[in-house]
Structure 1
Amino acid sequence: MKNRNILMLWSFMLATIALSSCDQEIDHMYKEKARIQFKYYTLDFNKKMIVNDKTTFSFGMKDDKIIKDTAKIVVEFLGSASDKDRTYKIKVVADSTTAVAGIHYEPVSNTQIFRAGRLKDTLKIVVDRTKLSTSFTTPENKRLTLEMEPSEDFNLGMKDGLRTNLYINNYLSEPVWWKDGLRLPYIGFYHPKKWKILISFNASFSNSETCEFNYNNQGRSYFQGLASYLNAIPTFDDESGARIYIDRLVPKI
């Protein structure tokens, strides 16, 4: 029994030392350098985390006169804010990228500035619609894949946040929230004209990442209104000529 008590005491002491060592290593990690990453998740209406490693920039809602615009990708870090600007590094992943520098986007500098006093900042990329297809039935998305690299000011952050994709297109691409189970049975298949009608009902629908309306709240009246609108006012797909209803496309006869 005495030996057993001694063994238990030694086990407790070793466990305490191990935990203390782990705590010191974690603290040390943040004292050395902050760890940078792309923001790789969003929160839905119910505050549930949705992992997302892509950003879509669509010219679909833009005026035809707008040829170039700026796509924005959120960058964040693990650590404390700094009172001075810091630099981080990114690279274009060539074997995963279909967008062409100088055609679909302006070349991106390998070195970027993370501004002082911020926990999040924005990587800005100038994109161009000139050579992008406007087709909805045969959609074209050009992809720019970016990867974080360590710099003098930052180590690398969480694995899931080290690579991100920017998709560039010239049609009104499907919003992230469209296929949510609380909406899909009532708004049916996606079509850009259906989305534009919802936006005309309430400008809040224009947010492509999140939507505050579902069938259990005031969204019900909007979705019923969309169905009634499509039944009453003939609305057609520009490419095929098919008439758009809430749940189907009816081919042109």
Structure 2
Amino acid sequence: MRKYIIYICLIIAGMCACNTEEVDVYSSPRYLFFQDSLKGLDSVKFSFSHYPGETSHDASFYIALTGLPAEEDLEYELQVVDSLTTALAEDYEMPQGLLFPAGETLSTLKIRCNGTREALKTQQVHVTFKIAANKNFSPGLSGKQMIRVIFNNIESKPLWWDGDLEKLILGAYSPNKFRHFIIATGRNDLTGISLSEARELTMQFKVYLIENNIMEDDGKTPMVNGIPVY
């Protein structure tokens, strides 16, 4: 009889251990962090001048989960780091109702910035956010808890408009030329593109310039004359 009592006690103890383990797993903490952070800050930089006609633009970031994925969408929160922000409140929209999707360990966060303020045509600003603790998540991985959006509306030459792409395909840069290139092709970034792909887009651009009789800033020289590709 004693042997059976011991046996039953062992079974009960095992069941209790399993239940404790299930509770521990279920209630294990969840942490969020920005996986692309470099030296503690994940940054996106852009100019509204590269998005003609847009008065607002979204900067995207990957946000990752450490811990068990949830069985339902869970809300998380960000807060502005005032000491690391120069943008005015009207220059960006504070994210509300942010949800980390059920069953996932990676999601995308979008920060909407506004480019309507006149000062942005001559001034660059930035806004910095950090993950805030709430009932669902805690900030994780020290050094990967903040993001920054750097933006302006200053007319500027894209970094990719250089080298063979400039010399053999597009020709010299001008803000007006870039603006029409975007209108004609729907592309504002040729980073990493092959010369053959760039040529195809630029031929499309040339057709647009000819059909619409687009001139250089002097109002006399056809813009198409400054495009070397054929």
Superposition map of 1:98-117 within 5 A: 98-101=86-89, 103-108=90-95, 112-117=98-103
Structure 1 residue 164, shift from structure 2 partner:
1.7
CA distance in 2, matches of 1:237, 1:86: 57
Aligned: 1:214 with 2:201: no
Q: Which has the larger radius of gyration?
A: 2
Structure 2 CA distance for partners of 1:121 and 1:237, relative to 1, 3 Å = farther
Structure 1 residue 166, shift from structure 2 partner:
1.6
CA distance in 2, matches of 1:201, 1:74: 29
Aligned: 1:56 with 2:46: yes
Q: Deviations over 1:108-161 (max 9, x none)?
A: 56x843243443133444x444423464xxx42221111223444334345564
Structure 1 residue 90, shift from structure 2 partner:
2.1
- 1:82 counterpart SS class: coil
Partners of 1:36 and 1:76 within 8 A in 2: yes
Partners of 2:120 and 2:154 within 8 A in 1: yes
Partners of 2:172 and 2:226 within 8 A in 1: no
Partners of 1:34 and 1:155 within 8 A in 2: yes
Match of 1:156 among 126, 139, 147: 139
CA distance in 1, matches of 2:88, 2:118: 11
Partners of 1:58 and 1:173 within 8 A in 2: no
Gaps of 5+ in 2: 1-23
Structure 2 CA distance for partners of 1:106 and 1:134, relative to 1, 3 Å = closer
1:131 corresponds to: 117
2:160 corresponds to: 178
Structure scoring higher RCO (CA < 8 A, sep ≥ 6) equals 2
Structure 2 CA distance for partners of 1:55 and 1:149, relative to 1, 3 Å = farther
Structure 2 CA distance for partners of 1:184 and 1:237, relative to 1, 3 Å = same
Partners of 1:89 and 1:148 within 8 A in 2: yes
Structure 2 CA distance for partners of 1:194 and 1:123, relative to 1, 3 Å = same
Identical amino acids, percent of aligned pairs: 19
Q: What is the alpha-carbon root mean square deviation over aligned residues?
A: 4.5
Gaps of 5+ in 1: 1-27, 42-50, 248-253
The number of residue pairs the alignment matches comes to 190
Structure 2 CA distance for partners of 1:53 and 1:188, relative to 1, 3 Å = farther
- 1:95 counterpart SS class: helix
